[in-house]
């Protein structure tokens, strides 16, 4: 059942509290109260509307797949077997709303709160988890400069790697490109924590690869008119154009690039989610970091299995392949909780759960996992993907390559 198409009243009318419990969906406080003692209650505070809704949809799909996989086997906690029931609440892509809903979920008896679609929202969850002295898991957040706020005493954990290394494989690969060779980089980015983090380390990282940062164009996060910014970027005649921003901004920038036919030899975007649907065939040839692929099966867990197994479960449920890594990220969050809570004495053993996460060293279908003293997963890395024939395929590093990179960008025009 796709709960994103049902409101709470409709769901209660159609299924009743008992049927909802059987699906693993907790849609109301009343159902939470009725849950039996052998149920682990997870609240997903997720962006189902607003700026981050594209990510929220896939994160939720991944969560659904993961809960079903866990509930088929159950989780052994303190000698007793548990299943997971979950509640979805919409933070409307707003940080203060996410913080308030996360605290409410804890008060309502959630055993785990998963919150923070993007580090800017995740930033608001850190003080909540610290004040409540309760571990929480990020939906998808990975900016180093956000997580360092809890360095040495983490309560908020991310299964994703630090973003400071997100583009490392990208620069290693593009520095090897030939016919034409590329060197000059221009970046466009919001003037927020994302832009600050990347800009701080970018000149040195590029210099290591004999690349050059020619210009950085910052914009207010709410901007949707990028015409003047693109014109200023084009003046530098870049070989490489880095769109270091989120899906709604990437879509707006790319459409304005299409209107003026500004397409350098290499185009890199920060994330691939739902770009093909918005741009079409012009996405072919664009690079994007990727943190997971169904064809990379180096790790596994006891619930989902391998990456290929996750892709099969996703397709069986949604009649489509996972479009990128985001749904897998959502499923990974459930795998992290399931494995950590299994190391505690009981579902209410908060200190045991915190200790289990801080000391966690293992793997899920998604990646190897070990959290540093800021709560970030330092055992996984970013690969480099490129859109080819409407799909994101891995082109680097060599050990995971699915296709040779297409170079230059088809239809490359610098001005």
Distances (CA, A) of 278 to 31, 156, 388: 38, 33, 16
| CA 195/CA 158 separation, integer angstroms | 20
Residue 335: which of 296, 293, 374, 364 has the closest Cα?
A: 364
SS3 223: coil
Question: Could you tell me where the beta strands, DSSP code E, fall in 221-367?
Answer: 240-243, 266-269, 287-290, 361-363
Task: Report the mean per-residue pLDDT for the chain.
Answer: 91
The count of domains in the chain is: 2
Structure-block tokens of residue 34: 């009725």
Digit-coded pLDDT (tens) for 331-355: 999 999 999 999 999 999 999 999 9
The better pLDDT of the pair 413, 327 is held by 327
Digit-coded pLDDT (tens) for 350-376: 999 999 999 999 999 999 999 999 999
> Is 12 within 8 Å of 72 (Cβ atoms)?
no
Residue 325: which of 182, 209, 166 has the closest Cα?
A: 166
Laid out side by side, the sheet with 156-157 consists of 75-77, 80-90, 39-46, 112-117, 136-140, 156-157
Structure-block tokens of residue 415: 């001005």
Residue 373: which of 392, 360, 382 has the closest Cα?
A: 360
Over 60: is that where the pLDDT of 123 sits?
A: yes
Digit-coded pLDDT (tens) for 135-153: 999 999 999 999 999 999 9
Digit-coded pLDDT (tens) for 173-182: 999 999 999 9
139 in a domain, yes or no?
yes
In sequence order, the 6+-apart residues with CB closer than 8 A to the CB of 61 are 314, 317, 318, 327, 330
DSSP tag of 406:
P
% of the chain residues with pLDDT over 90: 89
12 in a domain, yes or no?
no
Q: What is the pLDDT, as a whole number, of residue 414?
A: 57
The contacts found for 15-23 with CB under 8 angstroms, 24 or more apart, are 21/85
30 in a domain, yes or no?
no
The better pLDDT of the pair 120, 8 is held by 120
SS3 254: helix
- 185 and 108 in a common domain: no
Q: What is the pLDDT, as a whole number, of residue 389?
A: 96
Q: Domain of residue 255: give its range.
A: 165-290+383-400
- 257 and 180 in a common domain: yes
DSSP tag of 43:
E
Over 90: is that where the pLDDT of 4 sits?
A: no
The better pLDDT of the pair 35, 403 is held by 403
Length of the chain: 415
- 156 and 69 in a common domain: yes
CATH number for the domain including 157?
A: 3.40.50.2300
- Banded model confidence at residue 30, pLDDT cuts 50, 70, 90: very low
Over 80: is that where the pLDDT of 9 sits?
A: no
73 in a domain, yes or no?
yes
- 306 and 258 in a common domain: no
In sequence order, what DSSP letters do the residues of 3-14 get, joined into one string? GGGS-HHHHHHH
Residue 41: which of 12, 7, 77 has the closest Cα?
A: 77
187 in a domain, yes or no?
yes
- 224 and 276 in a common domain: yes
Q: What is the pLDDT, as a whole number, of residue 249?
A: 96
> Is 56 within 8 Å of 94 (Cβ atoms)?
no
Is the bond leading into 408 cis (omega within 30 degrees of zero)?
Answer: yes
What angle do helix axes 247-260 and 227-234 make, rounded to 10 degrees?
60
- 214 and 201 in a common domain: yes
- 252 and 117 in a common domain: no
75 in a domain, yes or no?
yes
- 345 and 227 in a common domain: no
- 209 and 311 in a common domain: no
Q: What is the pLDDT, as a whole number, of residue 411?
A: 83
Matching residue, tokens 């580090």? 119
- 111 and 63 in a common domain: yes
- 251 and 124 in a common domain: no
Is the bond leading into 199 cis (omega within 30 degrees of zero)?
Answer: no
- 231 and 308 in a common domain: no
Structure-block tokens of residue 381: 């890395």
Digit-coded pLDDT (tens) for 257-278: 999 999 999 999 999 999 999 9
Digit-coded pLDDT (tens) for 64-115: 999 999 999 999 999 999 999 999 999 999 999 999 999 999 999 999 999 9
125 in a domain, yes or no?
yes
Span 194-215, mean pLDDT?
A: 96
364 in a domain, yes or no?
yes
Structure-block tokens of residue 187: 């970046």
| CA 237/CA 402 separation, integer angstroms | 31
């Amino acid at each position: 059942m796709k709960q994103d198409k049902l409101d709470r009243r409709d769901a209660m009318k159609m299924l009743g509290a008992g049927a909802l419990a059987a699906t693993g969906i907790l849609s109301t406080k009343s159902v939470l109260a009725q849950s039996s003692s052998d149920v682990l209650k997870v609240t997903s505070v997720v962006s189902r509307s607003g700026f981050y809704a594209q990510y929220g949809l896939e994160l939720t799909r991944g969560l659904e797949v993961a809960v079903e996989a866990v509930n088929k086997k159950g989780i052994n906690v303190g000698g007793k077997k548990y299943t997971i029931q979950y509640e979805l609440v919409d933070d409307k892509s707003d940080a203060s709303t996410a913080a308030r809903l996360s605290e409410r979920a804890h008060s309502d008896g959630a055993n785990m709160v998963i919150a923070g679609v993007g580090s800017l929202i995740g930033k608001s969850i850190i003080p909540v988890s610290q004040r409540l002295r309760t571990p929480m898991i990020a939906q998808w957040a990975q900016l180093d400069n956000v997580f360092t706020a809890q360095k040495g005493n983490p309560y908020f954990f991310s299964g994703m790697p630090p973003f400071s290394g997100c583009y490392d494989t990208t620069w290693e690969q593009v520095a090897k490109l030939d016919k034409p060779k590329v060197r000059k980089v221009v970046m466009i980015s919001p003037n927020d924590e994302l832009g600050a983090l990347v800009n701080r380390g970018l000149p040195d990282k590029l210099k290591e690869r004999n690349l050059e940062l020619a210009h950085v164009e910052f914009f207010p996060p709410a901007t949707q008119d990028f015409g003047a910014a693109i014109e200023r970027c084009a003046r530098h005649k870049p070989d490489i154009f880095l769109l270091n921003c989120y899906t709604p901004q990437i879509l707006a920038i790319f459409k304005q690039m299409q209107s003026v036919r500004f397409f350098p030899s290499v185009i890199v975007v920060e994330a691939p989610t739902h770009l093909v649907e918005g741009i079409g065939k012009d996405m072919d040839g664009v690079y994007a970091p990727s943190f997971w692929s169904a064809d990379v099966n180096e790790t596994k867990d006891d619930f989902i299995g391998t990456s290929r197994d996750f892709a099969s479960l996703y397709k069986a449920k949604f009649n489509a392949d996972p479009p990128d890594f985001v749904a897998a990220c959502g499923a990974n969050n459930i795998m992290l909780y399931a494995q950590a809570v299994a190391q505690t004495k009981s579902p209410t053993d908060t200190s045991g759960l915190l200790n289990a996460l801080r000391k966690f060293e293992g793997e899920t279908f998604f990646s190897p996992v070990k959290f540093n003293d800021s709560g970030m997963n330092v055992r996984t890395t970013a690969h480099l993907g490129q859109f080819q024939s409407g799909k994101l395929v891995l082109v680097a590093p060599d050990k995971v390559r699915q296709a040779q990179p297409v170079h230059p960008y088809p239809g490359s025009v610098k001005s």
